[in-house]
Amino acid sequence: MSDHLEFLKSDDPFKIFENWFLKAKKEEQNPTAFTLSTVDENNFPDARTLLLKDVEDEKFLFFTSYLSKKFNDLSYNSLAAMTFYWHVSGVQVRVRGNIIKASEEVSKAYFESRAKESQVASLISRQSEVIESREALVSKFNETLDKYKNDDVPYPSFWGGLYLEPQEFTFFIYGEHRLNDRFNFQKENGIWICKRLQP
Ligand SMILES: Cc1cc2nc3c(=O)[nH]c(=O)nc-3n(C[C@H](O)[C@H](O)[C@H](O)COP(=O)(O)O)c2cc1C
């Protein structure tokens, strides 16, 4: 039996995710990358790649700009989906849930742990807005980096963490002849129930 199937013997989807993620961290080039799907105010779906920073207290944490298109989508509809694809093992994890903002304390602490260049990039970007030119962005970046060369970069309150609180997980393992294996977890009366799905 593959490790992935072995881990699926657990009845706790967070534990399964943790074990699959540990395996992905050993095997994959970009294990933390996932697709975040949202819908906008017109129910028009959108999706983009982000990086997972942590899973804490049964919540998935990632960082972004609160000025962004995705954040705007989430302010209309806070339900979202995350999709991880770990191609070395041929497995996929889908997680659906509600998004909530991280505290300023969490966001600031993570911001302060980043390289100065990344801090400046977050500070100067009005993510998802139109820019005049690449040159204008680069020159703003260089000016700001220079401005803070001997000082800490101030934490921008429009940038920070978001948590997805899972309500549903679907674990997928590629199978021979496309006979894939899928395991769906949803909570019933406060207990995670696992159902095996057709490929
Ligand atoms: C590998 C990869 C990792 C990324 N990680 C992040 C991230 O952690 N946070 C983020 O805001 N954007 C990240 N991006 C950029 C997003 O995909 C996206 O372009 C940006 O967040 C704006 O999306 P939006 O306009 O839908 O809000 C990443 C892109 C790639 C390709």
**What would the two tokens of residue 25 be?**
């961290």
Percent of the chain clearing pLDDT 70 (strictly above): 99
Q: Is the pLDDT of residue 128 over 90?
A: no
Mind listing the pLDDT tens digit for each residue in 58-105? 999 999 999 999 999 999 999 999 999 999 999 999 999 999 999 999
Q: What is the atom index within ligand 1 of the atom nearest the CA of 46?
A: 26
Alpha carbon of 163 to ligand 1 centroid (Å): 15
Range scoring the smallest mean pLDDT among 48-57, 78-87, 121-130, 148-157: 121-130
Mind listing the pLDDT tens digit for each residue in 146-163? 999 999 999 999 999 999
> What are the residue ranges of helices labelled H in the chain?
3-7, 13-27, 69-76, 104-113, 116-124, 134-147
Alpha carbon of 128 to ligand 1 centroid (Å): 10
The pLDDT value given to residue 127: 87
State the residue for tokens 């995670």: 192
Q: Is the CB of 70 under 6 A from ligand 1?
A: yes
* Exposed/middle/buried for residue 10 (C-beta within 10 Å: 0-12, 13-18, 19+): middle
Going by pLDDT thresholds of 50, 70 and 90, the confidence category of residue 1 is low
The pLDDT value given to residue 2: 78
Mind listing the pLDDT tens digit for each residue in 132-141? 899 999 999 9
Judge whether 114 counts as a catalytic residue.
no
Q: Report which secondary-structure segment, H or E, holds 82.
A: strand 79-86
Mind listing the pLDDT tens digit for each residue in 32-41? 999 999 999 9
Tell me if the pTM is above 0.85.
Answer: yes
Mean pLDDT score of the chain, rounded to an integer? 96
Domains of the chain and CATH, by start:
3-112+158-197 (2.30.110.10)
